[in-house]
Amino acid sequence: MVIQVYLLTLVYLLIGSSILLSQRYSSRFILLLDLQNVYSKNRKMKLFLALIGLILSVGGAFLPLPPGPVILGDLVVIINLFCLSFYYFYCYFQNIESVSITEYGMKAKAKMFFGWEVLVVVVLHFLFPNIVLI
């Protein structure tokens, strides 16, 4: 069960990072453009991603990989899961499309920074799964 939560967390954070970075890099990568279209057009997808993120964050808090403490073993990963889930909830309740924010606005820069930060956490969590990220 622990490995399944770990793998689902990696995939969820990778998808979240791709959604956050899709506005800036969709012209270079067609897959990001498709992901951006699916995310911006479908409100149920935003709600689904938000609920899955909350479930994974609770699961990650109580089921970390073996060398970590039993509760809050991967605090940085859990914080990223919560922030990404709350971003999806915010977009769901505000009915915000990911393409509605201008590319050079302050919100777009914050989104891009958060997307890169989530991507770095995913890579570190994948390369060093046994290191506790506190």
Tens-digit pLDDT profile for residues 78-95:
899 999 999 888 888 887
CA-to-CA dists, residue 29 to 21, 24, 106, angstroms: 11, 10, 23
pLDDT at position 99 is 47
In the block, residue with structure tokens 């915000």: 96
Residue 104 has pLDDT above 60, yes or no: no
Residue 96 has pLDDT above 90, yes or no: no
Q: Which residue has the higher pLDDT, 133 or 19?
A: 19
pTM score of the predicted model: 0.83
Q: Which of 19-28, 30-39, 106-115, 117-126 has the highest mean pLDDT?
A: 117-126
- Determine the Cα–Cα distance for residues 59 and 8; give it in Å rounded to an integer: 10
- Determine the Cα–Cα distance for residues 129 and 65; give it in Å rounded to an integer: 7
Which letter, b or e, does each residue of 23-53 get, where b requires 16 or more Cβ atoms within 10 Å of its Cβ?
A: bbebeeeeebeebbeebbeeeeebeebbebb
